[in-house]
Amino acid sequence: MKELKVFSIKKNIYEDNVKVAEETREELRKKEAFMINVMSSPGSGKTTTITATIKALKEEMAIGVIEADVDSDVDARTVQEAGGKAVQMHTDGLCHIDATMARAGVDALEVEDVDLVFLENIGNLICPVSYDTGAMKNIAILSVPEGDDKPLKYPMIFAKVDALLISKMDVMPYFDFDMEKLKERVYALNKDIEIFPLSAKTGEGMEPWTAWLKQQMGRK
């Protein structure tokens, strides 16, 4: 297995976040790489969903992942085992990724040979949504065990993302989760959002999700 790059971000830099984000998007376009910022609570299934997506699409495209965590490299190694390219970003306790940090991740990943980049943000429903990372699209993941009331408690993230993945659909029978209430609450905040119920474990719902991904990238 290729040696894994691990780097640390010691300081959050707020200045010129929008400028750096736009420069990052332009650089990604030049290199024909499409980046998606993935946000959720801890334990919602971000890494599992990303690795399932890699397995579903790795014959069609090269996928890289920037794994952002306070510590550890377990998720980046999981991505590598699934067939993706990965770098591990240590944030030294910071609760989100901004544009400067994301650009460091893009540079470390070396995206020249990557078609799709997932930026796996820090597990948090509040801080990450306030920062433009330079991604082309932003998505959130909400797991069934978290409940259908999260849009009422954390409205900003649902209002701003382009797509919402409802993960762990395989455990739906064991939880009091009302999908119709969830959709009603989310659409009230964001009428243009796309919602994809899925299970990375069973494969349920993965095809509509990956089809949307390819459509956003300009692929059939």
Rg (CA), the chain: 16
Residue 26, number of CB atoms within 10 A of its CB:
11
Do residues 109 and 120 make contact, with C-beta atoms less than 8 angstroms apart? no
Residue 175 lies in a domain: yes
Residue 219 lies in a domain: no
Do residues 84 and 64 make contact, with C-beta atoms less than 8 angstroms apart? yes
pLDDT (tens, 9 = 90+) of the chain, 220 residues, equals 677 777 565 454 555 888 999 999 999 999 999 999 999 999 999 999 999 999 999 999 999 999 987 666 788 899 999 999 999 988 877 788 999 999 999 999 999 999 999 999 998 999 999 899 999 999 999 999 999 999 999 999 999 999 999 999 999 999 999 999 999 999 999 999 999 999 999 999 999 999 999 999 998 7
Using alpha carbons, select from 90, 48, 51 the residue that is nearest to residue 69.
90
Q: Which helix (H) or strand (E) holds 29?
A: helix 17-30
Range of the structural domain that residue 93 is part of: 17-210
Query: Number of folded domains in the chain?
Result: 1
Which domain CATH number covers 166? 3.40.50.300
Q: Are strands 137-143 and 194-197 parallel, antiparallel or unpaired?
A: unpaired
Residue 10 lies in a domain: no
Do residues 51 and 82 make contact, with C-beta atoms less than 8 angstroms apart? yes
